[in-house]
């Protein structure tokens, strides 16, 4: 597909719309080329840290829902990181033309500087704000305007579930700490074993 090309899947409310973003989820950006590199490196360390954390949780047989929530966030971050790391090296530019795979002159960008592909667009509701409404009165609106990808969805669903079940997760964390503390106090010390 070329940049901006779209296919209507279910009328006008579900559209495959090819676009690329330079930064974070839903097209947000972060400080040009240096910001892009920092964001990519942050994602890399964040994903590595989260994978290690989830590994530790699974060894402790922690709440499976919490592990699933964190796994959604990890999966989404990895998806966007893969796009950011390799997409620019594999494809040529897609402005006004179809993107070429492995062009002879090389991709449009270097390692960790690629753009993230977004394609899911759900403009479910379109209209105009009433004139009496402060600030936005008379302006047109589209709900849901952002174009996103499956990775963005995984991150958003994971964060949303983490917020909803936060109380459950925090109480389980307390229980785990209490169990570990009581388990340590039941282990006899070397002095007690010697006597």
pLDDT band at residue 1 under the 50/70/90 scheme: confident
User: Has residue 194 been placed in a domain?
Assistant: no
Q: Which residues are catalytic?
A: 118, 152
User: Has residue 74 been placed in a domain?
Assistant: yes
**CA-CA distance, 120 to 21, in Å (whole number)?**
13
CA distances from 111 to 13, 62, 114 (A): 35, 36, 7
User: Has residue 193 been placed in a domain?
Assistant: no
User: Has residue 120 been placed in a domain?
Assistant: yes
Question: What is the domain range of residue 118?
Answer: 9-183
**CA-CA distance, 58 to 111, in Å (whole number)?**
33
- The per-residue pLDDT for range 142-180, each reduced to its tens digit, is 888 888 999 999 999 999 999 999 988 888 777 777 777
User: Has residue 195 been placed in a domain?
Assistant: no
**CA-CA distance, 171 to 190, in Å (whole number)?**
33
Do 25 and 148 form a contact (C-beta atoms < 8 A)?
A: yes
Note every long-range contact of 160-166, with CB atoms under 8 Å and residues 24 or more positions apart, other chains counting.
Answer: 161/65, 161/69, 161/72, 162/69, 162/70, 162/73, 165/65, 165/66, 165/69
Number of folded domains that form the chain: 1
- The per-residue pLDDT for range 7-52, each reduced to its tens digit, is 999 888 899 999 888 766 555 666 677 877 888 888 899 899 999 9
Average pLDDT, the chain: 84
pLDDT band at residue 195 under the 50/70/90 scheme: very low
pLDDT given for residue 171 in this prediction: 82
Q: What is the pTM assigned to this prediction?
A: 0.76
User: Has residue 99 been placed in a domain?
Assistant: yes
User: Has residue 175 been placed in a domain?
Assistant: yes
Question: Which distant-in-sequence residues (6+ apart) come within 8 Å of 163 by Cβ?
Answer: none
Q: For 83-93, what is the mean pLDDT? A: 88
User: Has residue 174 been placed in a domain?
Assistant: yes
């Amino acid at each position: 597909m070329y940049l901006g090309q779209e296919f209507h899947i279910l009328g006008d409310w579900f559209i495959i719309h090819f676009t690329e973003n330079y930064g974070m989820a839903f097209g947000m950006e972060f400080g040009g080329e240096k910001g892009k590199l920092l964001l990519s490196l942050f994602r890399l360390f964040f994903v590595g840290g989260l994978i290690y954390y989830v590994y530790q949780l699974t060894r402790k047989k922690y709440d499976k829902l919490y592990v699933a929530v964190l796994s959604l966030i990890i999966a989404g971050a990895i998806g966007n990181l893969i796009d950011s790391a390799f997409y620019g090296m594999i494809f040529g530019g897609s402005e006004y033309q179809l993107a070429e795979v492995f062009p002879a002159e090389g991709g449009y960008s270097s390692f960790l500087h690629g753009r993230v592909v977004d394609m899911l667009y759900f403009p479910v509701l379109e209209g105009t704000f009433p004139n009496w409404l402060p600030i936005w009165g008379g302006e047109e609106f589209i709900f849901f305007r952002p174009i996103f990808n499956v990775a963005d969805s995984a991150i958003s669903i994971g964060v949303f579930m983490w917020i909803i079940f936060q109380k459950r997760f925090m109480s389980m964390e307390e229980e785990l700490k209490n169990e570990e503390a009581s388990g340590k106090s039941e282990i006899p010390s070397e002095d007690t074993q010697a006597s």
